Amino acid sequence: MKYEFINKGREHLHLLDGKPLTGTSSIGNVLAKPLTWWSAELAAVECLETGEKIETIRQEYEDACNSGNKKAAIDELQKKYPQFKKARFAHFDKLKESAKGGTDLHAELENWVKWKMGKSDKLIIQTDPKIQPFIEWADANVKEFIASEAHCFDEGLWVGGITDCIAELNNGKLAIIDFKSSKEAYTNQFIQVAGYAIQTEKNGLFSEDGNHSKKLDKPIEVLIVVPFGAEVVEPSIRYDVESYKQGFRSAVVLYRLLGLEK
């Protein structure tokens, strides 16, 4: 099997023997993303119905949802009512704005981990005070960071991804740590991290150029999410790894069932 990675900025592609793998983050969002768009659409309908006094909007929206091609029907509705599109995308635009600010903190966390691993020059790192609580936690609890931005895949589940970092804690247990721009850690995020655990345990770690770089010598026993959008950036920790792994496998089944592949 040949693993490859194509970087397209915020969008990237994992390939196995030339065929695209499903991204692990897409699996993790299988529940959250459809519900977010659905709730945004209902809010948009309510605003237009009561504010703009478009009496037919609710029926037109329901007709679009029940059509043979909802995406095309919603696109037509957005063209007909620009206010509907503006209201529908309000949450998405806010997320993009937040993600832009969050990217810098994610990069600082990544650089700090790489410096701890001896892979980055300390002089170029200007850590934001916001992430100092995580740094203090890591200094007190992490024995060694063993991987940063490690690529992984599972040919059985047909998924691929990049885990932010893997660390050996002072108690000897291996932990996968993922940095998120959210204000708190969510269940779907731990499900995503468990997906990385499944993949790294099965095939080990790969570099961006597709070369196999490391095989883990023991299983992942700790899942950690660091929500750097929080007021105080502290890690959220889960030890029930097997349950979250099962959650990820179930999410894969649901993802395929819903036909969410692009």
DSSP assignment letter at 126: -
Average model confidence (pLDDT) across the chain: 85
For 190-216, what is each residue's pLDDT tens digit?
999 999 999 999 999 999 999 998 899
Look up the pTM and report it. 0.76
Q: Alpha-carbon distance 244 to 248, whole Å?
A: 6
Q: Alpha-carbon distance 147 to 117, whole Å?
A: 8
The more confidently predicted of residues 216 and 231 is: 216
DSSP assignment letter at 261: -
> What would the DSSP string read from start to end of 31-56?
THHHHHHHHHHHHHHHHHHHTS--TT
* Beta bridge pairs of residue 177: 165, 224
Euclidean distance between the first and the last CA atom of the chain, given in angstroms as a whole number:
23
Run of H or E residues at 223: strand 220-227
The more confidently predicted of residues 104 and 238 is: 238
Instruction: Delimit the domains of the chain by residue range.
Output: 34-91, 102-257
For 119-178, what is each residue's pLDDT tens digit?
876 655 566 788 888 999 999 999 999 999 999 999 999 999 999 999 999 999 999 999
